Structure 1
């Protein structure tokens, strides 16, 4: 019997300790992670033209807001400002007024907007911008949307109507800006421009 007791103690001693805690259910991944991957796949497979404005805005917000659903945030931004171009053109402090859009996300959107303006200048420069007046309007809207002060902006063109320079000639207050024809002519001569487009915004209307 002594030997049996030793064998029994040895048998139980070799067994790993059993946990008395109930097994924990496996954590499921947040639902938005699958949505993000599907949206990225659609962008790669079908191209950006197949995505709506809010979906493009979602893609932009993915890196700024890594651990949350961005769909409702994107829709809230579009509801507040009206379009993707106007979201990117809005001042940073107005972007932060939208619920759940923090300082980091607002700054990232302004960086993207700055990159977009550089891209727009690169696309317009060297081709006839007046061949499509709507493209000129889109360019100016992206550059000046939600600008809080009135600006007198000039697009200087060469003899082929290609963009030489885009300059803010004067910046005024919230409701007026001065314009000086002599300065416009002087600058046009300096740049050897043969045509100009004068642009003037109305911040109170934009807001």
Structure 2
């Protein structure tokens, strides 16, 4: 009887010991990859990384226990570019890729920071002499919007940016702009000039007949109030149409 109890005791002890196979289980194949990627980014700068590697850096903190390289490449393939990804609609990131709010937040904060810095570059300086910076800002703000958005840049007497405001949001192919509302806001801000901006979600910035008619109506009303309409920019994906350059304002 005693020997039986001793045998049972040893059996219990054997079950409590970790198996040799578990002790020798290899680490994930991406073990150390995150540290190496961060080190390369910090020591060599962002130019040393591919776009998908920058996306990996964004996802590391939000997705701690997963190889995110395949996901980073899938996201870039889906949205076409790094900026296309960070500008992507939240609903698409959530529904199509099942990303958590933490992962989506990490992605979207990049776009918010970039646009805030670009807008800061335009404030309190003549916009008309910083035209490329203005175009870059408008591209970043509007090129990847899924619906049409009509914005107005209000300028002071030195052509410095006072405010950038969204006046209307529309559908995938149209939005309404009302001259009275635009000019009322210009008077409230004491603006001397305005630049009209809207996007075409199709990517083609060619103006529609409605775009041309609306621009003329605003320009005619602004002239009576001694407010200059410097341009109307239609933003496509990587392209834009300038009413001023085409002699339409």
Is TM > 0.5 for Structure 1 vs Structure 2?
yes
CA shift at 1:143, angstroms? 2.0
1:137 aligns with 2:135: yes
Partner of 1:8: none
What is the aligned residue count?
A: 190
CA contact (8 A) 1:73 1:100 kept: no
C-alpha distance in 1, partners of 2:137/2:168?
A: 19
Structure 2 regions of 5+ residues with no counterpart?
1-12, 204-235, 238-249
SS state at 2:32 partner: helix
TM-score (norm. length: structure 2): 0.65
CA contact (8 A) 1:129 1:136 kept: yes
User: Residues 76, 97 of structure 1: CA spacing in aligned structure 2 closer, same or farther, 3 A cutoff?
Assistant: farther
CA shift at 1:180, angstroms? 1.8
Indicate the structure whose relative CO is greater, using CA pairs within 8 Å and at least 6 residues apart.
1
CA contact (8 A) 2:142 2:198 kept: no
Aligned-pair Cα RMSD in Å:
2.8
Partner of 1:116: 114
C-alpha distance in 2, partners of 1:122/1:133?
A: 14
CA contact (8 A) 1:89 1:144 kept: no
C-alpha distance in 2, partners of 1:95/1:192?
A: 40
Partner of 1:200: 198
Partner of 1:62: 60
Q: Deviations over 1:99-120 (max 9, x none)?
A: 4644542243234433333333
Partner of 1:73: 71
User: Residues 37, 139 of structure 1: CA spacing in aligned structure 2 closer, same or farther, 3 A cutoff?
Assistant: same
C-alpha distance in 2, partners of 1:21/1:153?
A: 65
Q: Structure 2 residue aligned with 1:155, among 145, 153, 165?
A: 153
SS state at 1:203 partner: coil
Q: Deviations over 1:142-165 (max 9, x none)?
A: 222432332110112234433211
TM-score (norm. length: structure 1): 0.76
CA contact (8 A) 1:88 1:110 kept: yes
CA shift at 1:169, angstroms? 1.1
Partner of 2:167: 169
Q: Deviations over 1:46-85 (max 9, x none)?
A: 1223323222211111111111122221111111111111
Consecutive aligned runs of 4 or more in structure 1 exceeding 6 Å deviation: 18-21
